[in-house]
Amino acid sequence: MDIEKIREDFPQLRHNFIYFDSGATALKPIPVLQAVRDYYDKYSTNIGRGIYKTSHKATVAYEKSHHKVLEFFQGDGEVIFTKNCTEAINIVAHGIDWKPQDKIIATYLEHNSNLLPWFRLKKFGVVVELLKCDPEGNIDLNELKQRIDNHTRLVAITHASNVIGTILPVAEITEISHKKGAMVLIDGAQGAPHLEIKLNEIDCDFYAVSGHKMMGPTGTGILFFKKKYFDELNPLNLGGGTVSDVYTDSYKLVKNWERFEGGTPNIAGGIGLGAAVDYLNAIGMSEIRKHEIELTAYFMDQLRKIDGVRIHGKMEPEKRTGVVSFRIKDIPSHRIAIIADEVGNVAIRSGLHCAFLMTRDILKEEQGTARASFYIYNTKDEIDHFVEIIKKIAKDE
């Protein structure tokens, strides 16, 4: 794999810019930009509506993206496009007919997007319980087993922590939950872009993905669900495209993904997302994973040598994604981030990472952590540059 050649596909990297914030959103390669541009340049028309050639072309391209995504995640189910991972999770939260006393189990590891939609259901009498984790992101599977009772309808859990990168044993969690009759939703925002996902093996009921974190355009997300939920899940938006017939006081929903994508969707985004999947496939997810493990190991090795730096999470790089949260002495994380940017043109994230419970209550980082997150376009040279900045920040006068 030629990283330098891959880097040429990312125009932003030509401008002395080091991007270590792929956990927030990934850079977009030229083929994705080109696919979006081509749509707007050559066949920017609505889908599913027109009988003319360009509309047909747009419809085919948009539909094809759905198929590519389904194939990419190796799942026997349905894929619908959403605006992001948050919306994908909210579709499930709003789409299931919850009953009072239904129980949902989530964890302290979750991003707010996989907590707040469940908390909101409390007003309908739904009970939400949180499973604690340790500072390395481990959850006790025996405790999970005990907590799942007859009322438990859903276990909602992240595939990988967006704060410390810990990869959760989602297949095992799904097996435990299914044995006790609970559905499983996995927040794949930090898993899907970095790991080879075989949904048929994980066997979860719902898998939510952030399209823009896997090099797709912003405003794209994915919800996968098993076929058996097709009729059970109520669409979030009803309107154009969602129905096959309308009567004076009712309607009949269509039998494909359009049911869940009411109104004109983000056509350019969906087509771009298909191009992103092609791009990731061409490199190979196992190659991406290998590269990220190498970078993560290298970065953590360098950090460990600096006095005053503390890394959060597991020390084995193969047990985490390329997300590394750290602190430098008592320096606020935002200060570290602004210095990295101003002094070295390095973009990192800082703060609570929309995971208040994990960052504040488990890691005890009231004011957040500095977080570097890597992707296929990053290099050890870039890490060296960043480590020099960290050394200077950590050095006492």
Partner 1 sequence: MNKSNFEIFRVCSRGGHEYYHIIPKKELNDFPENVQKLSIAEKKDKYLVLKMPDCKVTLFKGGRMLIEDLPEGSDTRAQAIVEEIMG
- Residues in contact with partner 1 by CB under 8 A are 332, 334-335, 338-339, 342-343, 351-352, 356, 360, 366-368, 392, 397
Here the tokens at position 302 are 């360098």
Rg (CA), the chain: 22
* Phi and psi, residue 92, nearest 5°: -70, -45
- Residue 268 CA to residue 253 CA, distance in Å, equals 25
- Residue closer to partner 1 by CB (options 140, 342) is 342
Q: Is 354 a catalytic residue?
A: yes
For 252-290, letters b (16+ CB in 10 Å) and e give ebeebbbbbbbeebbbbbbbbbbbbbbbbeeeebeebbe
Which C-beta is closer to partner 1: that of 99 or that of 329? 329
d(CA 393, CA 87) in angstroms, rounded, equals: 39
- Structure-token match 């919850």, residue found: 98
Give the DSSP letter of residue 228.
G
What is the nearest approach in angstroms of partner 1 to the Cβ of residue 174? 32
Shortest Å, Cβ 163 to partner 1: 14
* Nearer Cβ to partner 1 (316/366): 366
Rounded Cα distance, 374 and 324, in Å: 9
- Strand-pair partners of 207: 186, 224
Closer Cβ to partner 1, 134 or 361, answer by number: 361
> Between residues 217 and 351, which has the closer beta carbon with respect to partner 1?
351
For residue 391, the minimal CB distance to partner 1 (Å) is: 12
| Shortest distance in whole angstroms from residue 382 CB to partner 1 | 20
Q: How far is Cα 315 from Cα 294, in angstroms, rounded to an integer?
A: 13
Least CB distance to partner 1 at residue 292 (A): 27
Q: How far is the CB of 194 from partner 1 (least distance, A)?
A: 26
8 vs 341, which CB is nearer to partner 1? 341
The stretches of the chain forming alpha helices (DSSP H) are 3-7, 30-42, 53-72, 85-95, 116-119, 141-147, 170-179, 199-202, 267-283, 285-304, 333-344, 356, 380-394
> Do 97 and 121 form a contact (C-beta atoms < 8 A)?
no
Q: How far apart are CA 143 and CA 290, in angstroms?
A: 33
216 contacts 83 by C-beta, under 8 angstroms: no
Q: Which residues are catalytic?
A: 354
